[in-house]
Structure 1
Amino acid sequence: MDSRPLDALRQPAYTGENRCLPCTVVNVAIAAVLAVAAGRHNRAFGLLVAAVAAVLVWLRGYLVPGTPELTKRYLPRRVLRWFGKDPLATVSVDPERGFSDPEELERTLLDVGALEETPDGRDLRLTDGFAEQWTAAMADVDPATVEERLATALDCDAENLQSRGEGTALLDEFRPVAQWPSDAALVADVAAAGLLRDRLDGWDDLPTAQRTVFLNGLRLFAEACPGGEAVETSSEVVESCCSQMDVFVVRCADSGQHLLEQPVE
């Protein structure tokens, strides 16, 4: 029997020892649904669909094009752990210590694969994988429920989130403990909180203020705004009734919404 037609279909990168078990399970489930749907009208056709799908999964490792990348991006890490395919490091955090030290915060974000050094070793940036996941997660956030979701992510009362001009502040007995300069910043933090929760053992035990430190620190490296809008940075002078302050700003290039306002000493 000539095996050349089958060889053309094989994908060694995703079969044999390289087979991604979560991908296989997901695709077998999809194939089963398709076969059942087809079999409702014609049993023989349903069996044919099942057979063809099984052969494709066996030869290629997957049925739906792009499955390996889709699985990495969208399949929950708790599911990946069932198959021993957790692609990211998990770091334990101590709720009692806190993260007031920027260097310690950056080391933690490096350890969990959110940040990496730039090629020249002089700075840090988001890893490609985290940046893609963050952008995708932002697209799933409904602006209408963003404050409610942020309160859940921070384990605080939504009533403590109050509008302050164009931004939002988190109050603790009328004292602001965290601030967001725009709705875009709220969306970015809701999306980032879900990603960090998967990567940091002990996230659920962190006090609200410490969670905001993580999220604020991550926004410093943001490469995209909600909707995929590019970001730009600049330095500005912010004035109040009795003082002025130099501020490093990360903003959305088109809308002008600020993702971050970081005082510069």
Structure 2
Amino acid sequence: MGPIVLRRPEYTGQNRCWPCTVANGLVLAGCCLALVPLSIPLSLFALLAGAGAIRYRGYLVPYTPQLTARVRQAIASEPARPRAGSLDLKDDEELGRRTVETLLAEGVLVPDGDRLHLEERFRGAWREEMTRLRARSDEGLLAAITAATDGTDVELLEADRPLFVLTGSVGGEAWVSRPVVIAEIAAERALGVCVPDMNRRDRLTAARALRSFLEYCPVCETPTEETRPHLCCGSAPTPEARSGTVLVCPACDEALYRFLDD
């Protein structure tokens, strides 16, 4: 048997999962109440010891993270998937950098100190396109994706929140939500008007990056917010899942873009 770890920083501090903390607190309270008829000092000792475990370890019940992960997997009604995929299946960092340079050169992005913002003409064209696409059915968006992504197989996964599943002809797959589809197709079309010399491949790459400038949700027009995801301690512990600020629509509860930490 290995040594007992008294502190678990991966489950405390900023990493603390409050739903699990509350659940363990309720278990502790129930156990202490059950001990009261037998011995009040023993009940108080259990309370102090249990509270210390929850404070310094994040949980009291052994293997809470593992149990939580299994429960989440058992009750999940949909397969795990990224919530802010992209129509641009080729995640080419070098092409992405060149595309941003092109957007700056063409005036689509305008520097303002150490920040960038959208040029007003493009901003207006993008919002107009999003308004048009918003009125389309999921089947209508499916057709728009097919037209914008040559050589990509697209199918609609109907669930409580529809997802568009894209599979590239030479590999690559993405699960893309309706808000992201609307934002990227609208950006690609607006770029076709504002930067007519840019080819479609580059426009799709640019559309992925331009999602970071969304001020309103493409579906409901609620102002977007930047937040850090708070994951249950039973969630996937991958660096991608635990790092970065996410641009979200608080009304739709949809991730629109993930800003990766340096």
TM-score (norm 2): 0.51
Counterpart in 2 of 1:172? Answer: 168
Alignment match of 2:110 (pick from 113, 116, 126): 116
Counterpart in 2 of 1:71? Answer: none
Alignment match of 2:182 (pick from 173, 181, 187): 187
**2:98 & 2:147 partners in 1: Cα distance?**
25
Q: Which moved further from structure 2: 183-192 or 169-178?
A: 169-178
**1:125 & 1:187 partners in 2: Cα distance?**
20
Deviation for aligned residue 1:250:
1.4
AA matched with 1:108 = T
Matched, 1:146 2:138: no
Unaligned runs of 5+ in 2: 1-91
Unaligned runs of 5+ in 1: 1-97
Counterpart in 2 of 1:258? Answer: 255
Deviation for aligned residue 1:113:
2.7
Counterpart in 2 of 1:100? Answer: 94
| Contact 2:130-2:182 within 8 A present in 1 as well | yes
Decide whether aligned partners of structure 1 residues 242 and 233 sit closer, same or farther in structure 2, where only a CA change above 3 A counts.
closer
How well do the aligned residues superpose, as a CA RMSD in angstroms? 3.0
Counterpart in 2 of 1:63? Answer: none
Matched ranges for 1:1-265 at <5 A = 100-118=94-112, 121-141=113-133, 142-144=135-137, 145-157=140-152, 159-161=153-155, 163=157, 166=161, 167-172=163-168, 175-180=171-176, 182-198=177-193, 199-204=195-200, 206=201, 210-226=202-218, 227-236=220-229, 241=236, 243-245=238-240, 246-265=243-262
**1:99 & 1:201 partners in 2: Cα distance?**
21
| Contact 2:244-2:259 within 8 A present in 1 as well | yes
Aligned residues: 160
| Contact 2:96-2:205 within 8 A present in 1 as well | no
**1:133 & 1:107 partners in 2: Cα distance?**
20
AA matched with 2:199 = W
Decide whether aligned partners of structure 1 residues 222 and 140 sit closer, same or farther in structure 2, where only a CA change above 3 A counts.
same
**2:170 & 2:151 partners in 1: Cα distance?**
14
**1:151 & 1:257 partners in 2: Cα distance?**
23
Decide whether aligned partners of structure 1 residues 203 and 164 sit closer, same or farther in structure 2, where only a CA change above 3 A counts.
farther
Q: Percent identity?
A: 21
| Contact 1:250-1:260 within 8 A present in 2 as well | yes
Deviation for aligned residue 1:264:
3.3
**2:144 & 2:123 partners in 1: Cα distance?**
21
| Contact 2:142-2:154 within 8 A present in 1 as well | no
| Contact 2:192-2:203 within 8 A present in 1 as well | no
Deviation for aligned residue 1:202:
4.5
Deviation for aligned residue 1:176:
3.0
Decide whether aligned partners of structure 1 residues 202 and 123 sit closer, same or farther in structure 2, where only a CA change above 3 A counts.
closer
Counterpart in 2 of 1:94? Answer: none
User: Residue by residue, what CA displacement relative to the aligned partner does 1:184-203 show, whole Å, maximum 9, x if unpaired?
Assistant: 11111121111112214141
Deviation for aligned residue 1:104:
2.3
Higher relative contact order (CA 8 A, sep 6+): 2
| Contact 1:146-1:190 within 8 A present in 2 as well | no
**1:115 & 1:179 partners in 2: Cα distance?**
28
Deviation for aligned residue 1:124:
0.7
**Residue aligned with 2:258, SS:** strand
**1:101 & 1:190 partners in 2: Cα distance?**
19
**Residue aligned with 2:229, SS:** strand
**Residue aligned with 1:109, SS:** helix
